């Protein structure tokens, strides 16, 4: 029995947050679709049922076979999970008289319950549901209520089965982490032993067993994810790793040369491939964001196919794919959830490529990648580098892509990023960049009329990219950067600042 937690996903927008909160407790967890329960249930010590946009009263309600879980393993139902345990086990779920969404406070909390240790009356919780539990299932004991929700938490007597109507994983539930710790550590007796060091140790052994003496090709991007993946693989297989750094013509100013130099200094076996013309030619005339992403992904794969043929006996293609990439590209449930956008390094390889894929960071969030990188001894400055999209500046140029537009945006981006560093603001921002808009605006320079491009600056704060808020950069800084851009970048006469959060916007504009 390993100290892992299984999260069964019913399609909730918060499922990934459950995973994050569990991992913050130094407990490893995995998300699996509700209809694809893993066969290795013995590897999981506790199970959590997620929320869902569906109603348990619907004919098409997601249903799961819990016969091998309930009463056999500690089980926690969250929101839909709580309603599911009630509705299909003798309780009653009905439409709410009011829409139960947003902040609420516990008006009742049963004393002397391990599940509620450290959680008192008045504690704030976050509700997000349109149904409510009218009657608890047989053998249940009510544990908590709010002013509007009678059965906000309950447990089933004789089992380690618990259920809550609110969401402990969101920030607005102030004691949510404590509640998860009570359930997982104090009730389920899950050991808190999943740390960056343990991840490195386990992953290195898995990579050794999986790859053996076969050769691996890894595409380095200059970012944190691919760098950590490279160092992790190098630790596992040494010289059997061949890294390739592709210049797609869409990198930041001077990034190709500077990053190559940095990687060589780290002792990695890296080959630089300048495929700028190949990418730009394939992008010519494409304006749709998805077409651009897929074009870049296709050329990216083609380049690796060509390079792999130059390496004798290459069997694997390694990628720095991380969890948010997977989440945004593929429905967590395999159901009707909307795909936000496709990612160039998610979804496998075309049939004509014979390389197998290895993704050592696929289960990690961005902040976890950085902690793993620190445990590997990677330079703090490199680990602190802002995320940069795989398609590069192509998705920061709205509309079609030309070499001239790339050059303009590279100059603007360099002024913005260097300015953040010079003013001590870079490390206070999670991700920053500039966007070239497909509009011209009238301006005046030297008493003459101009009709030139508009650029938008974007800076956000976040933990893992799943949610983000715009950074309130000082007006004086924005004024200085705006003047510097307009005065130094020919073709730009207007600068705006993006103050949209994610959601409803995304971090990138495309």
| Residues that are catalytic | 79, 167, 169
User: Encoding tokens for residue 2?
Assistant: 């390993």
| Alpha-carbon gap, residue 254 to 272, rounded angstroms | 14
Name the residue among 382, 506, 490, 493 with its Cα closest to residue 442.
493
Strands 124-135 and 92-109: antiparallel
Name the residue among 322, 336, 325, 346 with its Cα closest to residue 10.
336
Furthest CA-CA distance within the chain: 83
* Sequential DSSP letters for 260-306: HHHHHHTT--EEEEE-HHHHHHHHTT--SHHHHHHHHHHHHHHHHHH
DSSP class of residue 343 equals: -
| Alpha-carbon gap, residue 88 to 67, rounded angstroms | 13
**Can you say whether the dihedral through the CA atoms of 415, 421, 426, 431 is positive or negative?**
positive
User: Encoding tokens for residue 387?
Assistant: 């995320």
Strands 241-247 and 215-220: parallel
Contact 28, 194 (CB under 8 A): yes
Q: What end-to-end distance do the CA atoms of the chain give, in Å?
A: 44
Contact 270, 257 (CB under 8 A): no
| Alpha-carbon gap, residue 460 to 308, rounded angstroms | 37
Contact 61, 51 (CB under 8 A): no
Name the residue among 303, 228, 311 with its Cα closest to residue 273.
303
Q: Which residues of 166-203 are buried (b: 16+ CB within 10 A; e: fewer)?
A: bbbbbeebbbbbbbbbbbbbebbebeeebebeebbeeb
DSSP class of residue 339 equals: P
- Residue 77 has a CB neighbour count (10 Å cut-off) of 26
**Can you say whether the dihedral through the CA atoms of 217, 222, 226, 230 is positive or negative?**
positive
DSSP class of residue 137 equals: P
């Amino acid at each position: 029995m390993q100290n892992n937690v299984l999260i069964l996903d019913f399609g909730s927008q918060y499922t990934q947050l459950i995973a994050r909160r569990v991992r913050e407790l130094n407990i490893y967890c995995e998300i699996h679709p509700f209809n694809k329960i893993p066969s290795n249930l013995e590897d999981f010590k506790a199970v959590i049922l997620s929320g869902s946009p569906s109603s348990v009263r619907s004919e098409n309600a997601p249903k799961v076979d819990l016969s091998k879980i309930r009463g056999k393993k500690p089980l926690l139902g969250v929101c839909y999970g709580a309603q599911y345990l009630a509705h299909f086990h003798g309780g009653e779920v009905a439409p709410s008289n009011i829409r139960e969404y947003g902040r609420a406070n516990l008006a009742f909390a049963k004393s002397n319950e391990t599940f509620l240790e450290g959680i008192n009356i008045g504690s704030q919780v976050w509700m997000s549901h349109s149904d409510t539990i009218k009657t608890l299932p047989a053998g249940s004991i009510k544990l908590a209520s709010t002013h509007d929700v009678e059965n906000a938490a309950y447990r089933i007597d004789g089992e380690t089965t618990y259920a809550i109507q609110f969401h402990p994983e969101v920030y607005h539930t102030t004691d949510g982490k404590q509640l998860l710790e009570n359930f997982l550590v104090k009730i389920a007796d899950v050991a808190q032993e999943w740390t960056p060091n343990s991840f490195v140790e386990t992953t290195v052994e898995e990579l050794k067993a999986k790859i053996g003496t076969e050769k691996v090709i890894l595409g380095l991007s200059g970012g944190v994810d691919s760098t950590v993946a490279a160092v992790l693989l190098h630790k596992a297989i040494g010289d059997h790793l061949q890294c390739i750094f592709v210049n797609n013509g869409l990198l930041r100013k001077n990034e190709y040369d500077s990053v190559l130099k940095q990687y060589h200094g780290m002792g990695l076996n890296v080959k630089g491939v300048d495929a700028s013309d190949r990418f730009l030619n394939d992008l010519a005339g494409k304006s749709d964001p998805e077409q651009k992403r897929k074009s870049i992904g296709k050329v990216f794969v083609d380049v690796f196919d060509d390079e792999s043929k130059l390496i004798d006996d290459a069997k694997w293609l390694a990628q720095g794919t991380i969890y948010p990439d997977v989440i945004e590209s593929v429905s967590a449930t395999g159901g009707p959830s909307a795909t936000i956008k496709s990612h160039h390094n998610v979804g496998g390889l075309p049939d004509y490529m014979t390389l197998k894929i290895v993704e050592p960071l696929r289960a990690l969030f961005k902040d976890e990648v950085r902690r793993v990188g620190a445990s590997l001894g990677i330079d703090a400055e490199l680990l602190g580098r802002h995320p940069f999209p795989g398609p590069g500046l192509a998705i920061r140029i709205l509309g079609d892509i030309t070499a001239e537009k790339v050059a303009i945006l590279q100059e603007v981006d360099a002024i913005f990023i260097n300015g953040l560093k010079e003013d001590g603001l870079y490390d206070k921002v999670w991700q920053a960049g500039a966007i070239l808009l497909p509009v011209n605006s009238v301006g005046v320079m030297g008493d003459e009329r101009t009709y030139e491009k508009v650029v938008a600056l974007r800076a956000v704060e976040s933990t893992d990219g799943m949610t983000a808020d715009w950074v309130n950069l000082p007006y004086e800084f924005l004024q200085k950067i705006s003047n510097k851009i307009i005065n130094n970048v020919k073709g730009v006469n207007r600068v705006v600042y993006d103050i949209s959060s994610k959601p409803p916007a995304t971090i990138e504009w495309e």
